[in-house]
Structure 1
Amino acid sequence: MSNIVLEGQNLHRSFDDGRNKVDVLRGIQLQVHRGEFVAVIGASGSGKSTLLHVLGGLDSPTEGQVFLNGQRFDHLDETTRGNLRNQHLGFVYQFHHLLPEFTALENVAMPLMLRADSQFKQVKLKAEKLLEQVGLSHRMDHKPGELSGGERQRVALARALVTDPDLVLADEPTGNLDVDTAKGIFDLLRDLQKQRNMAMLIVTHDQSLAHSADRILQMRDGVWDTL
Structure 2
Amino acid sequence: MSSHIKSGQVILAAKDVYRSFDDGRNQVEVLKGINLEVHQGEFVAVIGASGSGKSTLLHVLGGLDRPSKGEVLLNGQRFDHLDETTRGNLRNQHLGFVYQFHHLLPEFSALENVCMPLMLRKGTEFKQVKQKAEKLLDQVGLSHRLTHKPGELSGGERQRVALARALVTEPELVLADEPTGNLDRHTAEGIFDLLTELRKEHNMAMLVVTHDESLAKSADRILQMRDGRWFEN
TM range (shorter): over 0.9
Q: In percent, how many aligned pairs have the same letter?
A: 79
Partner of 2:3: none
| Equivalent position amino acid for 2:108 in 1 | F
Partner of 1:143: 149
Structure 1 residue 195 corresponds to structure 2 residue 197: no
Cα displacement string for residues 26-62 of structure 1 (whole angstroms, at most 9, x for unaligned residues):
0000000000000000011000000000000000000
TM-score (norm 1): 0.99
CA distance in 2, matches of 1:209, 1:17: 34
Partner of 1:103: 109
Structure 1 residue 23 corresponds to structure 2 residue 19: no
TM-score (norm 2): 0.96
Aligned equivalent of 1:4, options 1, 10, 14: 10
Structure 1 residue 176: Cα displacement: 0.3
Cα displacement string for residues 114-166 of structure 1 (whole angstroms, at most 9, x for unaligned residues):
11111010000000000000000000000000000000000000000000000
Structure 1 residue 17: Cα displacement: 2.7
CA distance in 2, matches of 1:171, 1:17: 24
Structure 1 moving runs of 4+ over 4 Å: none
CA distance in 2, matches of 1:212, 1:17: 37
Structure 1 residue 18: Cα displacement: 3.1
Matches within 5 A, 1:47-66: 47-66=53-72
Compute the RMSD of aligned alpha carbons.
0.7
Aligned equivalent of 1:212, options 218, 224, 232: 218
Cα displacement string for residues 71-122 of structure 1 (whole angstroms, at most 9, x for unaligned residues):
1100000000000000000000000000000000000000000111110100
Structure 2: give runs of 5+ residues left out of the alignment: 1-7
CA distance in 1, matches of 2:103, 2:184: 18
Partner of 1:115: 121
Aligned length in residues: 226
Structure 1: give runs of 5+ residues left out of the alignment: none
Q: 3-state SS of the aligned residue for 2:41? A: coil
Partner of 1:186: 192
